[in-house]
Amino acid sequence: MPRNNPLQTVLTVILNWRTAEMTERATRAALRAMEGVDGAITIVDNDSGDGSFEHLRAAFAGHPRVQVLQSGHNGGYGAGNNVGIRAGLPGGQRPDLVFLLNSDAFPAPDAIRILRDYLTAHPDTGMAGSHVHGSDGEPHVTCFRFPTAWSELEGAAHTGVISRLLGRFQVPITPPDAPARVDWLSGASLMIRSDVLDRVGLFDERFFLYFEETDLCRRAAGAGWPCVYVPDSQVEHIGSVSTGMREWSRVPRYWFDSRWHYFRKHHGRSGVMLATLAHLAGGVIWGLRRVLQRRGAKTPPYFFRDLVRHAGRRLLSRGPKGGALKQRPQSASQEYST
């Protein structure tokens, strides 16, 4: 498929799960940012069951550029976004570009246009992501390298000398000041060519939450479609509203499922075990530092125990390769109560 066709239409997809008022705010910000940009906005309610769908339908009833869909099943982040992508523009037309926007993210008035124009001017780039910042203006980390066993060791060790030795494997990347190619980008504000999705497929729905953007960007890069961070596109992001990550008292099982599925998919059975052993080795290093230097914890309670138990269950399982949870648990404590 030719890569040099002018890009005209943008489908913005916003996934809602029990954040109807915030999703409405994000949609209105996106509408301002879509002025002068051909296309439309699709809100997908991911089976919230709390009146969100009805609220959003009423808020945008009759609006010519907004459609509100019901997924009918909370299959997670990727599955919900896939519902909106598959629906296409109102009337079913295929957009040239798909723009993914979190329900707690608010694009500046020119943010969507800047990403569209960048992809138009750079036909060999597959995806483009924004500079994402908090309400206080502080930048969020949204640029990353692909995770490896080395990055698992570095991230878990929390030790300066190891981080210096393994710096080129660190997953988070300090956001550059100019457009730059990166391995993968956060899905909080990410624009993707439809040609890329036609080539590599949509989100892998075996991921419930986390690692799905990493996987999609990796598949795109493998097909010759790189990601580029575009700092002039600015988006405010509150963060962790739908996922509840800030209130986690224990890492939920679906995070372990997604991590396992990613490493198994891209590095094989030996690769996922090597990554897990590397993470545990880093944890031992950090544990020794904590004892010797009387430092506080940097991981949630029971993390390493849960990591080992999860790996053991997956190794003994005879099921399909790495399917993740298909129904969202209400809390981490509920997950581990059985």
Residue 214 has pLDDT above 50, yes or no: yes
User: Which residue type occupies 231?
Assistant: P
Residue 329 has pLDDT above 50, yes or no: no
For the residues 170-182, what does the mean pLDDT come to?
A: 96
Residue range 81-139, pLDDT digits in tens? 999 999 999 989 999 999 999 999 999 999 999 999 999 999 999 999 999 999 999 99
| % of the chain exceeding 90 in pLDDT | 83
Stretch(es) of the chain classified as CATH 3.90.550.10 = 9-139+175-241
Residue range 263-309, pLDDT digits in tens? 999 999 999 999 999 999 999 999 998 888 877 777 888 999 999 99
Task: Provide the pLDDT for residue 20.
Answer: 97
- CATH homologous superfamily for the domain 9-139+175-241: Spore Coat Polysaccharide Biosynthesis Protein SpsA; Chain A (3.90.550.10)
Maximum Cα interatomic distance, the chain, rounded to a whole number of Å: 64
Q: Are 325 and 208 in contact (CB under 8 A)?
A: yes
CA dihedral 73, 74, 80, 82 (to 10 degrees): -50
Q: What does each C-alpha distance from 219 to 63, 141, 170 come to in angstroms?
A: 36, 22, 20
Residue range 247-267, pLDDT digits in tens? 557 899 999 999 999 999 999
pLDDT band, residue 245 (cuts 50/70/90): low
Residue 328 has pLDDT above 90, yes or no: no
Residue 178 has pLDDT above 80, yes or no: yes
Rounded CA separation 337/166 (Å): 38
Nearest alpha-carbon partner for 73 in 42, 46, 103: 46
Q: What does each C-alpha distance from 155 to 193, 222, 275, 300 come to in angstroms?
A: 32, 25, 11, 14
Residue 334 has pLDDT above 80, yes or no: no
